Amino acid sequence: LWSTQGGRAKACARRTARILHDFMEEQNLTSTLLLNSSASTSPLADGYYGTSFDDYGASEFLKLGESNSEENEGDGITNTSTTNTNEKLVIMFVSTTGDAEHCDCIRDTWKLLLQKSLSSNHFFSVKFALFCLGDRAYGPAAFCAAGRKLGTRLVQLGAKPFTKIGYGDDGTPNGGVFCDLDTWIRKDFLPSISNDEMNTTRITTRKMINYTSRIKHPPYYVMV
């Protein structure tokens, strides 16, 4: 999924999908965790690179966690059983625009994510890989602010980072955000695909602390 104002996040999604497709084929890997697992819409399908958040559907995005949140209502996250067939990996590319704001094509989804009625384990069965796009020239507080806020909110709702969050800077020499994207894919994303621990049957409090600690400075607090 992507949100973009000028098209760079969409281009990042396209590049990542192509690299992931080739990598999975070369390594003879399979995954039941990727969002939209049917052949016509899978991120592994040759030529498919996803859609914008709001084109995918704000309500559809919320449904990614519905089946699991009802089962675990009141259980919290410690010692909760799960299986790899119920978990989903959502790969996201999020640009920041304007005054450190979300782009138009994610605003409906973002609005629903801020609902106070959502439980803290709504997305317990969801893991996400997040690459944020921004420009450090606007200062540390504004840099990738939209992506950071989205990641923080997903963690508040029980989702877990699948790998280290990536950050793309327009000002990076020799390629800008695409240079940073390639580094993130090579050093973080693909190694996590190879070494994923989705067969783990229990998520402990200690593991959850490790997951949430990957969202680092500057901290963002999403008030709902």
pLDDT digits (tens, 9 = 90+) for 60-118: 999 998 764 444 444 333 223 334 457 889 999 999 998 899 999 999 999 999 999 99
Closest CA to 59 of 5, 124, 111: 111
Closest CA to 178 of 46, 14, 24: 14
For the whole prediction, is pTM greater than 0.85? no
For residues 112 and 66, what is the distance between their CA atoms, to the nearest angstrom? 14
165-188: b (≥16 Cβ within 10 Å) or e: bbbbbbebeeebbbebbbbbbeeb
Mean pLDDT of 155-184: 96
Per-residue confidence band for 31, with pLDDT thresholds at 50, 70 and 90: low
The phi and psi torsions of 167 (rounded to 5 degrees) equal -130, 125
Give yes or no for residue 18 having a pLDDT over 50: yes
pLDDT for res 9: 95
For residues 198 and 173, what is the distance between their CA atoms, to the nearest angstrom? 36
For residues 15 and 97, what is the distance between their CA atoms, to the nearest angstrom? 21
pLDDT for res 34: 53
Is residue 170 within 8 Å of residue 137, measured between CB atoms?
A: yes
The pairing of strands 126-134 and 166-169 is parallel
Q: Which helix (H) or strand (E) holds 132?
A: strand 126-134
For residues 110 and 32, what is the distance between their CA atoms, to the nearest angstrom? 26
Is residue 177 within 8 Å of residue 168, measured between CB atoms?
A: yes
pLDDT for res 218: 43
